[in-house]
C-alpha cells in the first residue's frame, strides 16, 4: 500500500520539473535577437519530423501490411486536431503564454508519435497505430497555429520577415526527407521513432522562444474557454470567403502527401521521400520572393496565383499518367513550393492583418480547424474514394484521377475570385459613381 502511495506522489514530479524548466528559460537574461533566432530553429525542428514520416507514411504502412488504414489515419489526425485547435488557441489568448504551451504540446506529443511507430515496428494491430497517432494529433494539431501567432506577434515587420522564418520549416522538412532516403528508411517504422526524438528536442527549445503572453483578459464563459468565439469572424464577408475558399482548396490537396509517394513508387522511384522534398527546395525560393516583394502587391493576388498553380499541378500529374514519364511528376512536385507559400504562408498573413489583437491565436486556430482538420477529413476520404475507383495497375489510370482533382480545385478559385476580388472592385466602382 505504501508503494502505491509513493507512485501517486511521484506522478506530478515530471510536470513540476517541466514547469520549473519553463520558468528558468523565461526568466533567463537572453537578448531579444537570440529568442527571435530561436523561432527559426524551432520551425526547423518542428517540420523536420513531418518531412521524415509524412511523405513516407503510405509506403511504411504498405510495407507493414497496413495500407488499408491510410485513409483512416489521414482522417483521424485532423479530426483529433479539430478537437484541440480552438481550445489551445483560446488558451494562448486568455490564460497561458503561447511559447510555453507550444513546448508542453511538443514534448507530450513526441511520446505518442514514438508509440505509434513502435506499434507498427512490433507488429501490433494497425488500430494501435491509429490510436496513438490520434493522441499525437490531439496535442500536435494546434502547434503550427501557436507558432504562427508567436512569429506574427514578435516579428517587427511580419510581412517581410515572416516568410524568412517560415523558411526554417521548409529547410527542416526537406532535410528530414533527404535524411530518411539517405539511410534507406523510406519503408521503415524507425522513421517515425527518429522523428519523435527530434520533436522532443523541439519541445524543450520552445521555452527559449520570445515571451508571448495572453492578451484577452476580458472574455469569460464556456464559449471563450472552448474557443467558440472565433466563429464570430465568419460574420465578416471577406474573412468568411477566405476561410471557406482555403478549406475547399485544401480538400484535393490532401492527395499530395497521401498519394503522390505511391504514384512515384508505381513509376519506378526508389527514394520517393527524397524526391518529395523537391517541393521544399522550390519553396525556399518562393519564400525569398515573398519577403522581397512584401508590401508591393496585395496579398489576395498571391492567393489567386497559388490556387491557379494548384490546378496546374494536378494537370501536370494527369499528364504524367498519360505520358508515363517520371520527370513530369517532378515538375508537379516542384510547384508545391509556390502553392504552399502563396496560399498558406501569405494566407496566414492576410488573416492576421484583419483580426483584432485579442483574437490572433483563435483566428489562426480557426484556420487550422477549417483547413487542416475539416478539409483534411473530407479530403482523405474523397481522395481515397476517387483513387479506388480510378487507379488500377496501369500507369495511365492515374490520369483520370488527377483530372477530377483539377476540376475540384477550380471551385475555390472561382469562389474566392468572385467573393473577394470581384466584390472589392464592385465596391470601388460604386464609391466612384
pLDDT digits (tens, 9 = 90+) for 7-60: 333 345 466 665 665 555 655 655 567 888 899 999 999 999 998 998 888 889
121 close to 66: Cβ distance less than 8 angstroms: no
Largest pairwise CA distance in the chain: 84
Helical H runs in 267-397? 272-276, 278-293, 299-323, 326-334, 336-339, 346-352, 360-367, 375-390
Residues in contact with 279: Cβ distance below 8 Å, sequence separation at least 6, in sequence order: 333, 334, 335, 336, 337, 340
Higher pLDDT, 146 or 76: 146
Residues in contact with 235: Cβ distance below 8 Å, sequence separation at least 6, in sequence order: none
Is pLDDT of 158 > 90?
no
pTM: predicted TM-score of the whole model, two decimal places: 0.71
- What is the rounded distance in angstroms from the CA atom of residue 125 to the CA atom of residue 132? 12
288 close to 408: Cβ distance less than 8 angstroms: no
User: Three-state DSSP class for 129?
Assistant: helix
Rounded to the nearest 10°, the torsion over CA 405, 406, 411, 413 is 130
- Which pLDDT score, from 0 to 100, does residue 251 have? 95
* Residue 386: alpha-carbon gap to chain centroid: 23
- Which pLDDT score, from 0 to 100, does residue 117 have? 95
- What is the rounded distance in angstroms from the CA atom of residue 365 to the CA atom of residue 378? 18
What grid cell was written down for 417?
475570385
pLDDT digits (tens, 9 = 90+) for 179-191: 888 888 888 999 9
- What is the rounded distance in angstroms from the CA atom of residue 262 to the CA atom of residue 74? 15
Is pLDDT of 169 > 60?
yes
pLDDT digits (tens, 9 = 90+) for 238-276: 899 999 999 999 999 999 988 898 899 888 888 887 888
Least confident of 221-230, 335-344, 402-411: 221-230
- For the segment 310-338, the average pLDDT, to the nearest whole number, is 93
The segment with the largest mean pLDDT, out of 36-40, 152-156, 361-365, is: 36-40
Residue closest to 269 by CA, chosen among 326, 318, 227, 323: 326
* Residue 99: alpha-carbon gap to chain centroid: 18
pLDDT digits (tens, 9 = 90+) for 84-123: 777 787 787 777 888 899 999 999 999 999 999 999 999 9
The answer to whether the Cα torsion of 218, 155, 107, 28 is positive or negative is negative
- Which pLDDT score, from 0 to 100, does residue 88 have? 80
Least confident of 66-75, 290-299, 396-405, 407-416: 290-299
- Which pLDDT score, from 0 to 100, does residue 348 have? 85
What grid cell was written down for 255?
492527395
395 close to 266: Cβ distance less than 8 angstroms: yes
- For the segment 215-232, the average pLDDT, to the nearest whole number, is 66
Is pLDDT of 318 > 60?
yes
Q: For the chain, what is the mean pLDDT?
A: 83
- Which pLDDT score, from 0 to 100, does residue 295 have? 65
For the chain, percent of residues with pLDDT exceeding 70: 85
149 close to 360: Cβ distance less than 8 angstroms: yes
10 Å Cβ neighbour count for 366? 27
173 close to 277: Cβ distance less than 8 angstroms: yes
Residue closest to 19 by CA, chosen among 93, 89, 96: 96
Is pLDDT of 213 > 50?
yes
Least confident of 72-76, 165-169, 311-315: 72-76
- What is the rounded distance in angstroms from the CA atom of residue 365 to the CA atom of residue 383? 25
What grid cell was written down for 378?
473530407
- Which pLDDT score, from 0 to 100, does residue 49 have? 94
| Side-chain half-sphere exposure of 409, counting CA atoms within 13 A | 27
For the chain, percent of residues with pLDDT exceeding 90: 33
Burial class of residue 428, CB neighbours in 10 A (0-12, 13-18, 19+): exposed
- Which pLDDT score, from 0 to 100, does residue 13 have? 47
| Side-chain half-sphere exposure of 185, counting CA atoms within 13 A | 21
10 Å Cβ neighbour count for 395? 19
What grid cell was written down for 334?
516542384
Burial class of residue 28, CB neighbours in 10 A (0-12, 13-18, 19+): exposed
- Which pLDDT score, from 0 to 100, does residue 411 have? 95
Is pLDDT of 215 > 60?
yes
Q: pLDDT confidence of 233, banded at 50, 70, 90?
A: confident
Residue closest to 195 by CA, chosen among 176, 182, 172, 211: 176
The answer to whether the Cα torsion of 306, 308, 311, 316 is positive or negative is negative
- Which pLDDT score, from 0 to 100, does residue 144 have? 83
Give 30-210+226-425's CATH code, choosing from 1.10.540.10, 3.10.20.30, 2.60.40.420, 1.20.1250.20.
1.20.1250.20
- What is the rounded distance in angstroms from the CA atom of residue 379 to the CA atom of residue 50? 19
User: Three-state DSSP class for 189?
Assistant: coil
Amino acid at each position: 500500500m505504501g508503494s502505491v502511495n509513493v507512485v501517486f506522489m511521484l506522478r506530478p514530479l515530471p510536470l513540476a520539473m517541466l514547469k520549473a524548466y519553463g520558468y528558468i528559460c523565461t526568466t533567463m537574461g537572453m537578448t531579444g535577437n537570440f529568442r527571435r533566432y530561436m523561432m527559426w530553429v524551432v520551425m526547423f525542428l518542428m517540420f523536420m519530423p513531418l518531412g521524415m514520416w509524412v511523405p513516407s507514411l503510405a509506403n511504411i504502412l504498405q510495407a507493414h501490411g497496413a495500407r488499408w488504414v491510410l485513409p483512416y489515419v489521414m482522417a483521424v489526425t485532423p479530426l483529433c486536431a479539430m478537437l484541440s485547435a480552438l481550445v489551445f488557441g483560446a488558451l494562448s489568448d486568455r490564460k497561458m503564454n503561447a511559447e510555453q504551451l507550444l513546448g508542453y504540446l511538443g514534448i507530450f506529443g513526441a511520446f505518442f508519435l514514438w508509440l505509434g511507430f513502435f506499434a507498427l515496428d512490433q507488429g501490433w494491430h494497425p488500430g494501435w497505430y491509429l490510436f496513438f497517432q490520434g493522441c499525437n494529433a490531439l496535442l500536435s494539431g494546434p502547434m503550427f497555429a501557436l507558432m504562427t501567432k508567436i512569429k506574427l506577434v514578435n516579428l517587427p515587420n511580419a510581412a517581410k520577415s515572416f516568410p524568412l522564418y517560415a523558411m526554417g520549416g521548409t529547410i527542416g522538412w526537406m532535410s528530414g526527407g533527404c535524411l530518411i532516403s539517405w539511410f534507406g528508411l523510406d519503408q521503415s517504422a524507425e522513421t517515425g521513432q527518429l522523428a519523435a526524438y527530434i520533436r522532443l528536442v523541439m519541445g524543450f527549445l520552445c521555452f527559449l522562444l520570445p515571451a508571448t503572453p495572453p492578451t484577452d483578459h476580458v472574455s469569460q464563459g464556456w464559449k471563450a474557454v472552448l474557443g467558440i468565439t472565433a466563429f464570430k469572424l465568419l460574420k465578416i464577408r471577406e474573412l468568411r470567403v477566405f476561410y471557406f475558399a482555403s478549406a475547399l482548396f485544401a480538400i484535393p490537396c490532401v492527395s499530395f502527401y497521401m498519394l503522390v509517394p505511391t504514384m512515384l513508387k508505381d513509376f519506378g522511384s526508389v527514394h520517393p521521400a527524397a524526391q518529395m522534398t523537391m517541393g521544399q527546395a522550390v519553396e525556399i525560393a518562393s519564400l525569398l520572393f515573398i519577403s522581397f516583394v512584401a508590401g508591393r502587391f496585395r496579398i489576395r493576388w498571391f492567393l489567386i496565383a497559388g490556387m491557379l498553380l494548384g490546378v496546374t499541378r494536378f494537370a501536370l500529374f494527369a499528364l504524367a499518367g498519360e505520358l508515363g514519364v517520371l520527370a513530369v511528376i517532378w515538375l508537379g512536385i516542384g510547384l508545391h513550393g509556390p502553392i504552399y507559400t502563396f496560399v498558406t504562408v501569405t494566407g496566414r498573413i492576410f488573416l492576421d492583418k484583419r483580426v483584432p489583437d485579442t483574437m490572433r491565436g483563435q483566428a489562426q486556430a480557426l484556420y487550422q480547424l477549417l483547413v487542416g482538420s475539416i478539409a483534411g477529413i473530407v479530403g482523405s476520404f474523397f481522395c481515397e474514394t476517387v483513387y479506388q475507383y480510378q487507379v488500377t495497375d496501369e500507369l495511365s489510370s492515374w490520369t483520370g484521377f488527377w483530372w477530377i482533382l483539377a476540376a475540384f480545385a477550380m471551385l475555390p478559385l472561382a469562389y474566392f475570385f468572385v467573393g473577394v476580388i470581384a466584390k472589392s472592385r464592385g465596391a470601388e466602382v460604386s464609391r466612384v459613381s
